[in-house]
Amino acid sequence: MIWEPIRKTGQEVARANLTDYERERRGFSWQAARRALSGLPEGRGLNIAYEAVDRHVDTARRDHVALRCVGRDDTVTEMTYEDLRLATNRFANVLRGSGVGKGERVFTLLGRVPDLYVAVLGTLKNLSVLCPLFSAFGPEPIRERLRLGDGRVLVTTPELYSRKVAPIRESLPGLKHVLVTGDAPPPAGALSLRELTAGASAEFVIHPTDPEDMALLHFTSGTTGTPKGAVHVHEAVLAHHVTAVYALDLRSSDVFWCTADPGWVTGMSYGVIAPLSLGATLVTDAGEFDSRRWCRVLQDQQVTVWYTAPTALRMLMRHGDALPGEYDLSRLRFVASVGEPLNAEAVVWGPRALGLPIHDNWWQTETGAIMIGNLAATDIKPGSMGRPLPGVEAAVLERGADGRARVVDGRVREMDEPGVEGELALRPGWPSMFRAYLGDPERYRQAFAGGWYLTGDIVRRDEDGYFWFVARSDDVIKSAGHLVGPFEVESVLMEHPAVAEAGVIGKPDPLAGELVKAFVTLNTGFEPTERLRLELIAFGRRRLGAVAPRELSFDQNLPHTRSGKVMRRLLRARESGLPEGDVSTLERHAGTVP
């Protein structure tokens, strides 16, 4: 189906932060953008926590609400920027007093509670390196990341420590300090964070911080089992700040809710750093996903800008168009999505159900910030990733036989023709680009060629400069001479009224190499009958021809990562009876998303 663009009105354009996309791209420089930040006093460098907290307390935003945490029981805890400054100073003093210094790794294993945000920012003030973990991780992925990251400090709850960390503590000799939250006496082997911070000074001077000093360590899951530790530096805050202004249309007056788990890079870059760097109010919710709960949070907290995942939007869509209308969402002015490609049906659902279009954008753990997006003042082509942000240069590179960019003598070839599929590449130079894979320089070297960062994503670019996601290079299906992108097949299947979600893989076949197989989740009111299965296969053939699914199975619990992505590699492994590899990011709670 060809979807009509969602046109922006002159009034919408005039209200946007970025009103003239082409002019801004022509005149943009990261050096000039740096003036939007304060820097440490007396020219002592650039520190993420100072930009997110301390610089606001000398302004009218001192007593403005920085953090509004909704508890599982709906209780709300607020912290002003001054509250956050004092609390993060105390945490930083706890680290410094414990002998934890610059470059040493501090891990968090916490849900979306105030202690998490204090620990994150206090760690960065101390020039230690923050590494967030999913609170849903089991003992083994926790152990592996603490080992790979050489963790010195872990901040967690007593319950999580006793259940997940204490059994593996002896295998982690480098873990010197475990700080547990709450008022109860700490379990054996841990210290009370509450007691330590109560006895710490509320004044703290941030040491000189080079913009290239290591600040964040984000682990991404490898397809074969070993997580990769992507290193980011303090200069990343510049990209967080600028891209929030451009891609999320965010302002200091906004109430902002990013639903991503803080253990994922989106939950850190845009669930902590970016909104605070702007002086906005950040909303968090400790509860699990529930359609009505989330609508209630949007209403009760008067959220103005909402950044969420395609999976969450599709789960809301299962309720039809009426559910959001039961709540007062009149304060909501901008909605964006990230985590996996957003199918066109979800984009156009937004105006019907929310009264607002949904702006999909694209980036990776390695990029650290949004690179390509649909913007507030530009037309939306439903299903597209959007266009590169100012300060970002993107290209489509010719592919070799393995599906990745073709590299010959260190050179690559750019494909300028509209509609040609190739590997998406980015020109290095943006501030939040990862600086290393921790302890794996060869893996890092292989991520670059010909002056480009190779993303591993297959895309096409149309005549207007919009990028369209095709597949991850390792997800591309090679069937009877066709290269099939699973997202295209999934998007078509989700146009059928019975289908809520789909995951498509290549199934080994001795004749075709691979057959296209689809797994679909049905909408409420549809039963997984043989008649419907055949109907969906026929629907796919009519729409897709030779690349349509040959096989189709029903699955009401497709495996997702905590960031909301369908785990195609897990579907492939299960279909082939192969080891599942790293499943530490698998969402194990049915019906929940980040």
Query: Is residue 144 very low, low, confident or very high in pLDDT (cuts 50, 70, 90)?
Result: confident
Query: Is residue 318 very low, low, confident or very high in pLDDT (cuts 50, 70, 90)?
Result: confident
Weakest mean pLDDT among 71-80, 149-158, 316-325: 316-325
What is the pLDDT at residue 410?
A: 93
Distance between CA atoms of residues 104 and 125, nearest Å: 13
Largest separation between any pair of C-alpha atoms in the chain: 72
What is the pLDDT at residue 340?
A: 77
What is the pLDDT at residue 584?
A: 57
What is the pLDDT at residue 526?
A: 96
User: In this predicted model, which residue has the larger pLDDT, 576 or 418?
Assistant: 418
| CA distance readout (Å), 388 to 9, 373, 563 | 21, 6, 22
Residue-wise pLDDT for 494-533, tens only, equals 999 999 999 999 998 876 778 999 999 999 999 999 999 9
CB neighbours (10 Å) of residue 11?
7
- 6 bridge partner residues: 380
Distance between CA atoms of residues 518 and 502, nearest Å: 7
* 32 Cβ neighbours under 8 A, 6+ residues apart: none
User: In this predicted model, which residue has the larger pLDDT, 482 or 216?
Assistant: 216
Mean pLDDT rounded to a whole number for the chain: 92
Query: Is residue 216 very low, low, confident or very high in pLDDT (cuts 50, 70, 90)?
Result: very high
Strands 372-373 vs 358-362: parallel, antiparallel or unpaired = antiparallel
Q: Which domains does the chain have, with CATH numbers?
A: 10-392 (3.40.50.12780), 394-474 (2.30.38.10), 475-576 (3.30.300.30)
What is the pLDDT at residue 586?
A: 56
What is the pLDDT at residue 582?
A: 56
Distance between CA atoms of residues 290 and 294, nearest Å: 6
pLDDT beyond 70 at 579: no
Residue-wise pLDDT for 395-428, tens only, equals 999 999 878 999 999 999 999 999 999 999 999 9
* Residues 488 and 383: beta-carbon distance below 8 Å: no
Query: Is residue 320 very low, low, confident or very high in pLDDT (cuts 50, 70, 90)?
Result: confident
pLDDT beyond 80 at 371: yes
* Residues 247 and 258: beta-carbon distance below 8 Å: no
Distance between CA atoms of residues 104 and 214, nearest Å: 10
Weakest mean pLDDT among 95-99, 326-330, 556-560, 581-585: 581-585
What global pTM score does this model have?
0.85
Weakest mean pLDDT among 45-49, 197-201, 220-224: 220-224
Contacts within 8 Å (CB) and 24+ apart, 187-196: 187/158, 187/161, 187/162, 189/161, 190/158, 190/161, 193/94, 193/115, 193/155, 196/94
Query: Is residue 585 very low, low, confident or very high in pLDDT (cuts 50, 70, 90)?
Result: low
- In the chain, the percentage of residues whose pLDDT exceeds 90 is 79
Query: Is residue 156 very low, low, confident or very high in pLDDT (cuts 50, 70, 90)?
Result: very high
Task: Please say whether the dihedral angle defined by the alpha carbons of residues 521, 523, 528 and 534, taken in this order, is positive or negative.
Answer: negative
Look-up: residue for tokens 């590899």?
A: 581
Residue-wise pLDDT for 227-251, tens only, equals 889 999 999 999 999 999 999 999 9
Mean pLDDT of 113-128: 98
What is the pLDDT at residue 580?
A: 63
* Residues 310 and 337: beta-carbon distance below 8 Å: yes
User: In this predicted model, which residue has the larger pLDDT, 364 or 508?
Assistant: 364
Look-up: residue for tokens 């922006």?
A: 8
Amino acid 464 reads D
pLDDT beyond 50 at 343: yes
What is the pLDDT at residue 577?
A: 79
Query: Is residue 225 very low, low, confident or very high in pLDDT (cuts 50, 70, 90)?
Result: very low
pLDDT beyond 60 at 588: no
Nearest residue to 12 via CA among 258, 355, 306, 278: 355
pLDDT beyond 70 at 200: yes
